[in-house]
Amino acid sequence: MALVELKDVGKVYGKRWVALADITFSVDEGEFVFLVGPSGAGKTTLLKLLLAQEKPDSGQIRVAGFDLTKIKKEQIPLLRRKIGAIFQDFKLLPDMTAWENVAFALRVCGYPRKLIKSRTDELLALVGLLHKAKSYPNELSGGEQQRVAIARALVHSPVLLLADEPTGNLDPHSTDEIIQLLLDINRQGTAVIMATHDMEIVERFGFRVLELADGYLVGDRKTNIGGGNLS
């Protein structure tokens, strides 16, 4: 069974504004998928649906074994422990250090203290930021902040990582770093869906590309298979 399955999914905001219509696709475990399209095409809405932040108005969505059209409120936390999410604006808490930001995600899920410590160190090491554990977000560069956000998104060892324009605020060098990190994570078995409107990245790395325009899925193609290496 596929990790993510969408069938004829539609989402309408208010009464008239159609954010998504007739979206059908599936993503397998361990896949890397780019979600492209101009601003307002529905990329963010789609990711919100996958995170169960919004409910679809029509169609069916299955993510990691949960039926999101019928999911109960108390099951949403369970779903979100299988999905990591990162965003353009990082969403780090400014009054906490990098370490505390990652540990926060574990604390609020009721993990024991010992586990929190070792796991946080481990995740910060994974994203290469253990030496900046005590820095506050405003002391970190954009790329570093995004890496902290990635570490936080990985606390539950998710099966799926959603990235909403993760490189939107970053310089080219940091962008490459972040994408390399996402590739590493993907190589270790986590499926990644990355929304972006930076076609240059997409062309360079290849993988599967889902293209959205005005709420419709207008393309599902694989580009440059076998590529995907930074050199």
Partner 1 sequence: MYRKISPMYPNISPMHQEFSPVYSWRVHMYPAFSPVYQRRSPVSLSISPCEVDCGGVYLREKPVDKMGALWFATQEAVKSFWRHRFVAMLSIITIAGALFVLGFFITITLNLHSVLAGVQEKIAVELFLKDNITKVQVSSLMDEISKIEGVREVEFITKADAMKRFTDRFGQKYLVGLEENPFPPSILVKLEPGTKLDQTVKSIVDKYRGHKFITQISAPGKVARKLSNALKIFLILSAIWAVILFFGAIIIIVNTLKLAIYSRKESIEIMKLVGATDSFIHLPFMIEGSLNGALAGGLASVVLYLALTGMKKIIPAMQMPPDALYYGIVLLGIALGVLGSRLAVKRFL
Residues that bind partner 1 (CB under 8 A): 1, 3, 28-31, 51, 64-66, 73-75, 77-82, 85, 91, 93, 104-105, 107-113, 115, 118-119, 122-123, 125-128, 152-153, 155-157, 159, 185-191
Q: Is 20 exposed, middle or buried (0-12, 13-18, 19+ CB in 10 A)?
A: buried
Provide, rounded to whole angstroms, the least separation between the CB of residue 180 and partner 1. Answer: 12
- Distance in Å, CB of 218 to partner 1, minimum: 26
Its sign, for the CA torsion 100, 190, 78, 114, is: negative
Nearest CB to partner 1, comparing residues 11 and 119: 119
Look at phi and psi of residue 207 and say left if phi exceeds 0, alpha if psi is from -120 to 50, else beta. left
Cα angle 25, 80, 38 (rounded to 5 degrees) comes to: 45
- CB nearer to partner 1: give 42 or 137: 137
Count the residues in the chain: 231
Q: How far is the CB of 66 from partner 1 (least distance, A)?
A: 8
Residues 185, 187, 188, 191, CA torsion sign: positive
Q: How far is the CB of 212 from partner 1 (least distance, A)?
A: 22
Q: Cβ closer to partner 1: 108 or 226?
A: 108
